[in-house]
Amino acid sequence: MNHVEVCFSPADYALYESGFDLVVVIDVLRATSAICTALENGVARIKPVAQVEEAREWQSKGFIAAAERNGEIVPGFDMGNSPVTFMEKAAQLKGKTVVLTTTNGTKAIDIASDKKTVVIGALNNLDALSNWLLQQDENVLILGSGWKDKFNLEDTICAGAIADQLLGSGKFIADEDSTVAAKFIYRSARDNMFAFLKASSHRRRLRKLNLNEDVKYCLTPNNVTTIPILKDGFLVPLNEAETPSRTLPAEQASLAR
């Protein structure tokens, strides 16, 4: 019997990570929702970086770079972590590599990057991801990105939704109270997540920034099927990562070196 556990934030990661080779990173508002959406809509690869300075270095080499801090686009960058923007710019981003840094999500990805398998979760790809996890014979740690190392509701609800599906299959068990709490918070919220999250801290931040369209999109389950996976430092669609031979465009080959 495999285990599934929920870690509420990167600050607690060291307390949970032992015994887990498969980590699901979640940042519902908005990094992982944007990653899933970007790859679903034709972006070839995403290079997650923890620091703005590193994103600027890639940008100076001619790569498309997106940077967000505190919900806003960092000055000097054309994009942040808006999934709606990735959809609007799908035609010009198709087949491209995007370098991405965000307040919380890319930090969590970086923390988990030494694990054998790191995949990206959101409410957007909830069922596709959960079904794939059910096929893996692995212990699963679900890592919420939180807000600046603190607990947040939206990541916990998403983590609870994934845990609920895995535990309900009879193939997984959980020992940690955090997992039990996430599951029951999700069950309390699932019939109306918009109302449940209306008072959440980050939704309030984004509302002040007039990002309600992003919020609505991020809180809509199953509007994509892409499962991003970390492969050699890049996030790529799972189905492409599993393809044995794949010729990289010249731009991506340059970035990989």
d(CA 38, CA 93): 9
pLDDT digits (tens, 9 = 90+) for 59-101: 999 999 999 999 899 999 989 999 999 999 999 999 999 999 9
CA nearest to 16, candidates 138, 129, 118, 140 = 140
Please tell me the predicted confidence (pLDDT) of residue 212: 83
What's the DSSP call for residue 147? B
Please tell me the predicted confidence (pLDDT) of residue 245: 45
**Token digits of residue 144:** 């919420």
Beta bridge partners, 155, equal none
Which ranges of the chain have pLDDT less than 70? 201-210, 243-257
Sign of CA dihedral 125, 131, 136, 142: positive
Please tell me the predicted confidence (pLDDT) of residue 251: 56
Please tell me the predicted confidence (pLDDT) of residue 40: 98
Please tell me the predicted confidence (pLDDT) of residue 136: 96
> Using an 8 Å Cβ cutoff, are 43 and 240 in contact?
no
- What structural domains and CATH numbers belong to the chain? 2-230 (3.90.1560.10)
Please tell me the predicted confidence (pLDDT) of residue 215: 87
**Amino acid of residue 4:** V
Please tell me the predicted confidence (pLDDT) of residue 210: 57
d(CA 1, CA 143): 20
**Amino acid of residue 99:** V
What does R_g of the chain's alpha carbons equal in angstroms? 17
pLDDT digits (tens, 9 = 90+) for 23-45: 999 999 999 999 999 999 999 99
